[in-house]
Amino acid sequence: MTRFRGCIDIHSGQVKQIVGGTLSRDDLNGVDNKLSTNFVSTRPSSYYANLYKENNITGTHVIKLGTNEANDRVALEALRAWPDALQIGGSINDGNAKYWIENGASHVIITSWLFPDGKFSLERLEQISNKVGSKHLVIDLSCRCKISNNGEIQWFVAINKWQTITDKQLSMEFFKELSPYCDEFLVHAADVEGLCKGIDQNLVSMLGKWCNDKPVTYAGGANSLSDLTLVEKLSQIIPLWYHLLKDLQ
């Protein structure tokens, strides 16, 4: 069954929705002139956490988009509004993952730390899975699209604010390799994220074929609630993460 999942993106201490590939620098380093946003909220993160709680939108993600200390403070505010129900991502590693679980996150979302120097590390995955438990771990395999020499559409994991494309291609084999170590997967279609011009239908269709033993949350490009029906039709299994923050002022 396909269902909606919420998201609370946090950047420079504010709840925002950022257009995917425009985030190019850490918010600890001042203003990012390339940054494009659809929405910047004046409300606290707890407002959105409570809104999702009131409507029982389980599995909502809290994503810290940078290492600014204000992001940690705002993230904690959301977690305390709905303890043990929200998932947290952004700069998660083996040194802080357990801290976030102990402070109210149901899951931690891990991505860039699994790819030191852009190369996937199974050793790191085993390490963090053992530390927090697979039932508390979500693996983020957000990706960018490439066209092969023979015209085949391929998707490769993108890290470091989606600016670095790794050599790890999404496939059924890769999902099977990772599945024992996590509870869920998250996949942003980075090329369409935040554009609100439609989902990556090819990717959604392939995700339905590649991964059928763990929940997969797809994110990117949704522009109406009818996309929920489209995702259901294309994949049969994938929850849709659709940013509604701009409509919840």
pLDDT of residue 16: 84
Quickly list H helices, the chain: 45-54, 69-81, 97-102, 122-132, 172-178, 201-210, 226-235
For the ranges 29-43, 147-161, 185-199, 217-231, the one whose mean pLDDT is highest: 147-161
User: Per the structure, how many domains does the chain have?
Assistant: 1
> Sheet holding 153-159: strands in order across?
143-147, 153-159, 164-169
Average pLDDT over residues 10-37: 69
Q: Are 96 and 123 in contact (CB under 8 A)?
A: no
| DSSP-assigned beta bridge partners for residue 188 | 219
24 pLDDT tier (thresholds 50, 70, 90): low
pLDDT of residue 232: 85
Grouping H, G, I as helix, E, B as strand and the rest as coil, residue 13 is: coil
Question: Is residue 229 within a helix (H) or strand (E), and if so which, with residue range?
Answer: helix 226-235
Tens digit of each residue's pLDDT (9 = 90 or more) over 34-75: 667 667 889 999 999 999 999 999 999 999 988 889 999 999
With 80 as the cut, is the pLDDT of residue 174 above it?
yes
Least Cα distance to 10 among 75, 60, 69, 55 occurs for: 75
Q: Domain containing 207 — which CATH number? A: 3.20.20.70
Give the domain extent around 177.
4-247
With 60 as the cut, is the pLDDT of residue 78 above it?
yes
On the 0-12 / 13-18 / 19+ scale of CB atoms within 10 A, 247 is exposed
Lookup: tokens for 222: 């949704």
d(CA 175, CA 141): 9
Average pLDDT over residues 134-153: 96
Average pLDDT over residues 194-201: 83
With 80 as the cut, is the pLDDT of residue 26 above it?
no
In the chain, what's the furthest Cα-to-Cα distance? Answer: 51
Tens digit of each residue's pLDDT (9 = 90 or more) over 93-126: 999 999 999 999 999 999 999 999 999 999 999 9
249 pLDDT tier (thresholds 50, 70, 90): very low
Q: What mean pLDDT value characterizes the chain?
A: 88
Average pLDDT over residues 179-203: 90
The residue whose two tokens read 């899975």 is 129
pLDDT of residue 192: 87
* Range of weakest confidence among 88-97, 137-146, 234-243: 234-243
Tell me what percent of the residues of the chain surpass a pLDDT of 70: 86
With 80 as the cut, is the pLDDT of residue 193 above it?
no
Q: Which residue has the higher pLDDT, 9 or 197?
A: 9
Least Cα distance to 222 among 4, 1, 25, 64 occurs for: 4
